Amino acid sequence: MPKVIYTSLNADQGPHTGILQSAGFDVQAVSRDSDLFVEENLAEAVQDAEAILAGSEPYTRKVIGSLPKLRAICRTGVGFDAVDLAACDEAGIVVTTTPGVNQHAVAEHTIALLMGVARGFPELDRRVRENRWKRGLQPRVMGSTLGILGLGRIGRAVAWRAMGLGMRVIAYEPYPNTEFVEQMQIELVEFGDLLAQSDYVSVHAPMSAENHHLMNAQTFAKMKPGSVLLNTARGGLVDEQALAQALKSGHLRGAGLDVFETEPLPLDSPLLELDNVLLAGHVAGLDTKSHYDTFEMVAEIVIELYKGGWPAFAIQNLKGVNDWKWQRD
């Protein structure tokens, strides 16, 4: 039986195990006692896998080169920046994601962060707990401007919800869905104009070498004074030290963050010292519906690959390959 090992967090529950076992796969979990972000630990944990249901642990060239049986790395999510695609191409390993299953969860979480920061959380909560009540004025969300960096599935889901709150939505997107933009009457603007006009900037760009620290000291300086940064995409898109300085100076009113450069967020992070930062632990894409759909899809992708299919909608590498087979020659 082909062996599938899952490393993804929260994978102990879901439909994938039953689906795969019914299709004749041997499904196993990794030990949660091992730090899978250490290359040696990860390589040892998945040594015998033919397919991995992967989380955000780093599949580097070194790890990939130590896994001779591996045929597929199947991410339970839409990000694949932790996987060395070039190394997978050379080894003939398919890399897949699960597009279209968690955008509503991320969008709801983004709006929750937006509304929380807009209304003064977490500081208000802390003050009540410490009997230091403070009543102050906050800008109204309705009528304010939300700037969306990246108008893909998640960005569009956020835009739709923000408009329901009465917000003006503008976006920076090099390759827009013109039908959606026209239907929702979203104004497309240049990056700098978005920063200058937005009361809230929500980051939904993909992680890449070019986008590393997309939000930095220079871009924060271009943001509208008193505006708010929201990031539910990838931690590496934001220079956290520069963000902390922009928040401390008062140039930015607040931030809502679900992702960080180092996860878990180190306890010495300057962000933890600030009352105007609302934090969550990389959970934006998690709700009961997205969880079920993600693990159902990833199991079906593995089965299709094993049977000789090619689920192109989910495959992120091996461009131009038309003779890939699960069984090696």
Active site residues: 234, 263, 282
273: nearest Cα among 238, 318, 229, 243? 243
132-146 in b/e form (b: 16+ CB < 10 A) is eeeeeeeeebeebbb
Question: How far is it, in rounded angstroms, from Cα 186 to Cα 139?
Answer: 22
> Could you tell me the strand order of the sheet in which 168-172 lies?
187-188, 168-172, 145-149, 200-203, 227-231, 252-257, 277-279
Distances (CA, A) of 20 to 15, 221, 289: 9, 51, 20
